[in-house]
Structure formats: C-alpha cells, structure tokens
Amino acid sequence: MDCIFCKLAEMKDQYIAETRHLFAVWDKYPCAKGHAMIIPKKHRLNMFEMTKAEAAELPEILEKVKKVIEEKYKDDKPKGYNIGSNNGEAAGQVVMHLHIHVIPRYKGGHGIQVLGEGEPKE
C-alpha cells in the first residue's frame, strides 16, 4: 500500500501528540494557524472503520492537541475549534486514510460555511 498517512505514522519525530492507536501532526496545508490532524496509526479508510479502541481514544488525543495548540499560540489563543473529517469521496475526502482535522478559530471566524452544497433536497 502506498499511503502517505501510513508512511507518516512511522515518522514519530513529526508527532505533536500520540495515544496508543492515534497520532497527531500539523497539517501540511493549514487553513488556520495551528491546524492539526489526528490520524489512526493503522490504515482506516474512514471513521466507520475505526475500532472501538481507536474511537475511545479520540477525547484523550483531542485534549492533547488542544493543549499543544494553546501552548504554541499562548499569546493569541484560539476562541473556538472546528473538528471534523470527510468520509468518502462524495464527502470531499481526498486522502483515503482517515484523518480528523482540528482547526483552531480566532477572532471573528465564520466556521465551516459550505455544507451539503449541490446535494438533492427531499
């Protein structure tokens, strides 16, 4: 398998936080300062393939990532966060290995604005 996130899982020097089954890194193409990603160490296509053990660690690693971000940006701490992932091509997933974005938001942010654009309405 030629998966960029599987390769990244082996680069522990890039980790900003870690649990037994998950790791976090800075996003290579951040949409805000402090944008990080949480990724399972084992290949999982999307959130629906996560094991119970992996899913159970999400609150722990989210807290660790938040702490790292807030320590790094202590002079301008985030006022909020967007946390989410795209699951499947139709949802906008580009890298087919689960990754959960942790996007800090600062003053006057508008969060995620475009949801479901182009979807049929029932």
Condensed to tens digits (0 to 9), the pLDDT of residues 11-48 reads 999 999 999 999 999 999 998 999 999 999 999 999 99
Domain 4-105: top CATH class = alpha beta
* DSSP run (H or E) holding 61: helix 58-72
Question: What are the backbone angles phi and psi of residue 15, rounded to the nearest 5°?
Answer: -65, 140
What would the pLDDT profile of 67-90 be if each residue is shown by its tens digit?
A: 999 999 999 999 999 999 999 999
Catalytic residues: 99
* pTM to 2 decimal places: 0.88
What would the pLDDT profile of 86-103 be if each residue is shown by its tens digit?
A: 999 999 999 999 999 999
Class of residue 30 by CB neighbours under 10 A (exposed 0-12, middle 13-18, buried 19+): middle
Residue 112 pLDDT > 80: no
Question: What residue segments make up the domains of the chain, in order of their start?
Answer: 4-105
Which residue type occupies 2? D
